[in-house]
């Protein structure tokens, strides 16, 4: 998503091990208004624009029951991010912090997480507010937000 | 993590596509008191026992600056979960809901997320309260919790 090539002064890259410990399957695609990373908000806003999370046909049936919740946790794959930075310089001034002290998209496993407000479900598409990712971002998971997770009948899942 | 083999009445499995859309690299290992899934809590509790998130040596340097935050978001790989269920029956009574309406570990990309209280950092090991995963669970990401994410100097990352 950002700086595929450039390293800023003070940043540190590691020799990334092969990313073969586990494999992901993309389950859908996220449609947002943002086609350029410079236009993306830094964090999603719960009053932001409605975005469409379109599940692939195989997975659409897995949405049944999601409409009972107000908020959903969305996991997506930041497919344009480099993955090898150990220290980063968000301010581009040579001062750096460890990757795990930042929510930067640049990380060994570039998974973005958001808690979004559920607006509606139309077939295999989930409408939400509160995302901050680029248009076309691959979806990897969707689940009721842990905070809003009140089992319907008192039996925990 | 659960039910690798059995399908309960009413549950629906899909023909899982190859999980090769993206690859993960495990960056550490989580040590918890729970060695059997039946002993795992359903959700982590912020007053639960201290757990140790041990980063592999390659990544330990990425923790610098994380101690400024009170809460961390932890992403981990539920390596004992089956991945092909579209509908699940958490109550084992034949009534089912879609996988994405549950926080079950059984999902196409079995990634667990937790927001944990940061207790301390000892070298490459992060001590937290609030996890619910099995001992030995592979770590895939660690970042400041979005709610507690107040940039140190007002400049967003």
The reported pLDDT for the residue numbered A2 is 47
Averaged pLDDT for residues A129-138 = 95
Local confidence band at B112 (pLDDT 50, 70, 90 cut-offs): very high
Query: What's the token pair of residue A42?
Result: 């830094």
- Chain mean position to CA B20: 20
Task: Pick the residue of B99, B137, B147, B149 with the most A CBs within 10 A to test the interface with A by mutation.
Answer: B99
Q: What percent of chain B has pLDDT over 90?
A: 73
Asked if B16's CB is within 8 angstroms of A25's CB, the reply is yes
Other C-beta atoms within 10 Å of A127: how many? 16
Local confidence band at B14 (pLDDT 50, 70, 90 cut-offs): very high
Dihedral over Cα of A151, A154, B2, B4: its sign: negative
B80 CB-contact burial (10 Å; exposed 0-12 / middle 13-18 / buried 19+)? middle
Strands of A12-13's sheet in order across: A12-13, A85-88, A97-98
CB contact residues (below 8 A), chain B span 8-37, against chain A: 12, 14-27
The reported pLDDT for the residue numbered B147 is 74
A149 pLDDT exceeds 70? Answer: no
Query: What DSSP line would sit under chain A, residue for residue?
Result: ---SS---TT-EE--PPPS-SEEE---EEEE-S--SGGGS-SS--TTS-EEEEEE-GGGGGGGTTGGG-SEEEEEEE-TT----EEEE-TTSSS--EEGGGS--S-SSS-EEEEEEEEEEEETTEEEEE---PPTTEEEEEEEE-STT---TTS---
- DSSP letter at B124 equals T
Choice between B43 and B25, residue whose per-residue pLDDT is larger: B25
Averaged pLDDT for residues B112-125 = 97
Express each pLDDT in B50-84 by its tens digit. 999 999 999 999 999 999 999 999 999 999 999 99
First CA to last CA across chain A, in angstroms? 35
A27 pLDDT exceeds 60? Answer: yes
Which among B19, B62, B141 has CB closest to A25? B19
Mean pLDDT score of chain A, rounded to an integer?
89
Which among B15, B100, B103 has CB closest to A157? B103
The reported pLDDT for the residue numbered B39 is 83
Q: Which of A131-135, B52-56, B94-98, B102-106 reaches the highest mean pLDDT?
A: B52-56
Least confident of A116-120, B102-106, B147-151: B147-151
Question: From the CA of B113, how many Å to the nearest CA of chain A?
Answer: 9
Asked if A113's CB is within 8 angstroms of B144's CB, the reply is no
Asked if A103's CB is within 8 angstroms of B149's CB, the reply is yes
Asked if B69's CB is within 8 angstroms of A101's CB, the reply is yes
């Amino acid at each position: 998503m950002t700086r595929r090539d450039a390293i800023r002064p003070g940043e540190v890259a590691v020799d990334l091990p092969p990313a073969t410990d586990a494999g992901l399957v993309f389950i859908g695609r996220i449609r947002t208004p943002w086609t350029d990373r410079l236009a993306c908000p830094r964090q999603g806003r719960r009053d932001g624009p409605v975005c469409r999370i379109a599940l692939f046909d195989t997975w659409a049936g897995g949405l049944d029951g999601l409409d009972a919740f107000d908020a959903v946790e969305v996991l997506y794959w930041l497919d344009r991010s480099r993955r090898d930075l150990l220290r980063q310089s968000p301010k581009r001034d040579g001062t750096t912090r460890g990757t795990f002290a930042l929510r930067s998209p640049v990380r060994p496993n570039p998974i973005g997480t958001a808690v979004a407000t559920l607006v509606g479900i139309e077939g295999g598409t989930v409408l939400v507010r509160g995302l901050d990712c680029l248009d076309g971002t691959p979806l990897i998971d969707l689940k009721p937000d842990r905070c809003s997770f009140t089992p319907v009948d008192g039996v925990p899942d």
